[in-house]
Amino acid sequence: MDVITPFTPVASTIGGALIGLSAVLLMLFNGRIAGISGILARIFPPYTGSDAASAVAFVVGLMAAPLCYSAVIGGPVPQTVAANAVLMGIAGLLVGFGTVYGSGCTSGHGVCGLARLSRRSVVATVVFMAMGFATVFVMRHVIGG
Amino acid sequence: MLRVALSLIAGLIFGLGLVIGGMADPAKVQNFLDVAGTFDPSLAFVMGGAVVVTFVGYRLAFREHSPLFAEQFHLPTAKEVDARIIIGPTLFGIGWGLSGFCPGPAITSLSLMANGTLIFVPAMLAGVGLARFVTQKRLPKRLETTGGTA
C-alpha cells in the first residue's frame, strides 16, 4: 500500500530555495509572512485590512504552479493522494483548524518562524513534526500492521 | 495593485517550489514521516533550503525601513508559549500525518483534481473558518497579531 518515493536531495533543495525566495519577496515588497494558513485565514471575514485581494492572488498563484510546471516539463506532477473520504475529511478539518488556532503551519512556523528564530515557532514546529511522525507510525505500523 | 501582483508571483514561485521539491505529493510527505518504514528524507532538504534562504533574505529585507509596497512589516508580536501554540500544532500534526497534506501543498494540488484533495480542501477551509470564528470571538484584539502569523 505504501508508495515508495525516490530520495531527491537536489530537487528538494532547489524547491526549498524557491519557497524561501517567495517568502523573502513577500516580506521585502509586501511586508508579509509567507504563511499559507494565515493567507487562507485572510480570505475569510472579518476583513481587517485591504489584503484579502493579495491573499486571493497568492492562492491563485499556488494553484497555477502545477499547471505551469506540467506545461514546461511536459509531464504530470507525480502525486499519490489517499482517496478515503472520511480520513481526508477529518484530516482536512484538523489541518485547517489546528493551523489557524496555532497561528501557523509548515510555512509560517516551520520556514518563516524558524528563520526569524521565533521561540513560539520552534515549539510549534517541534510539536507538529512530532505529532506527524507519531500519527504515521500508529497508522502504518500499529493499526495498519 | 502592486501588492496583489507581487502576491500572485510569490504564490506561483512558492507553488513551483512545492512541486519541484516534492511536497505536493502526500506520499512523499508521509514517507518523510515514516522513519520506521519507507523513509524518504527529501523533505528535510526542502525545509533546510527554505529556512536558509529565508534566514538570509529576511536579514537583507529588514535593512529597509519599510516594505517596498507597504507601510510596515507585519510581524507577529506574540512571544509567550501559550496553550494555543501547543494545541493548534498538535491537531495540525495529526491531520498532516493522516493525509500527508499541509495547507500549501493542499491548495497547490487543487488544480490536479485528485479525489482526496477535493475532499480535503473544503474540510480544511471549514476548519480555517471555524478557528477564525473561535479565536475572533474569544480574543478579538489578538487575532490581528497571532492570526496573521502565518
Q: What is the pLDDT of residues B27-51, one digit of tens each?
A: 999 999 999 999 999 999 999 999 9
Q: Residues near B10 by Cβ (< 8 Å), separated by ≥ 6?
A: A22, A25, A26, A30, A34, A58, A61
A47 touches chain B (CB under 8 A): no
Q: Position B61: which residue type?
A: A
Assigned C-alpha cell, B100: 500527508
Kindly determine whether residue B91 and residue A66, on different chains, have CB atoms separated by under 8 Å: no
Number of domains in chain A: 1
Residue A2 lies in a domain: no
From chain B, the residues in CB contact with A21 under 8 A are 13, 17, 53, 57
Q: Position B18: which residue type?
A: L
How big is chain A by its Cα radius of gyration, in Å? 17
The per-residue pLDDT for B138 is: 57
Report ipTM for this prediction.
Answer: 0.95
Residue A25 lies in a domain: yes
The residue range of the domain holding A75 is 9-143
Of residues A8 and B137, more confidence is placed in: A8
Assigned C-alpha cell, B12: 506561483
Among chain B residues, CA nearest to A38 = B150
The residue among A98, A57, A112, A46 whose CA lies nearest residue B11 is A57
The per-residue pLDDT for B143 is: 46
Residue A101 lies in a domain: yes
A52 touches chain B (CB under 8 A): no
Model pTM above 0.95: no
Ordered by start, the domain boundaries in chain B are 1-73, 76-150
pLDDT-wise least confident of A45-54, A94-103, B4-13, B134-143: B134-143
From chain A, the residues in CB contact with B113 under 8 A are none
Tell me A108's DSSP state. I
Output the CA torsion sign for A112, A115, A118, A123.
Answer: positive
Mean of pLDDT values over B110-131: 96
pLDDT(B146) > 50? no
The per-residue pLDDT for A75 is: 87
Distance CA B24, CA A107 (A): 13
The per-residue pLDDT for B142 is: 47
Of residues B14 and B135, more confidence is placed in: B14
pLDDT(B141) > 60? no
The per-residue pLDDT for B150 is: 41
